[in-house]
Amino acid sequence: MAKTPPRYWFSVYDEDQRRAEVNDFFEQYWRHASALRNWLVAFGVGGCMLLLTDKTDVFALSPLWLKILVLFFLMLGTMIQIVLALINKYLHWHLYYGTEETGHQNTKSYKISLKLSKKVWIDQVTDIITMVCYLLVVMLFFIGICFKENPAIL
């Protein structure tokens, strides 16, 4: 038996209101998820551009291995977010198409997309991995600053 939502004395809670509320929550979630992904990708791409175009002299005296590590973690974090965006794009295309063409709901791709779209841990794990990559970049950045001040530390 399905649970009924709580009824409040000041409102009538019907199915249309519930659907509207769910849609509002999803829109808010999607806006925040898109904003976070945009910021993470921008940070990664911007960091790579700064390093590759020598617009910052922090790494001018740093050893090559330090520069390679910084680039690796920036590119890894960015690529993880791009892959996640591609996965979400195709999952949600199948779900959308399933609402337009009900026969598509019987396909294997639709059923897999429906299952995976409910797995929030996929987004959480990829965001955490990206943030760890960028945290390592920040740490390496400070190592680069220390190396610039005292090249003997490495």
Domain borders along the chain are 31-86+122-153
Q: What is the mean pLDDT of the chain?
A: 80
Q: Specify the pLDDT at position 54.
A: 65
Residue with the bigger pLDDT between 53 and 10: it is 53
Predicted TM-score (pTM) of the model is 0.71
Beta carbons within 10 angstroms of residue 13's beta carbon: 13
Res 7: pLDDT:
52
Where is average pLDDT lowest: 79-88, 105-114, 137-146? 137-146
pLDDT class of 24 with cuts at 50, 70, 90: confident
The CA distance from 65 to 84, in Å, is: 28
Tens-digit pLDDT profile for residues 84-112 = 988 988 888 898 888 888 899 999 999 99
Q: Would the pLDDT of 61 be above 80?
A: no
63 versus 90: which is more confidently predicted? 90
Task: Give the pLDDT confidence of 64-77 residue by residue, as tens digits.
Answer: 888 889 889 989 99
Q: What is the pLDDT of residue 23?
A: 72
Closest CA to 45 of 79, 88, 85: 79
Please say if the pLDDT value at position 52 is more than 90.
Answer: no
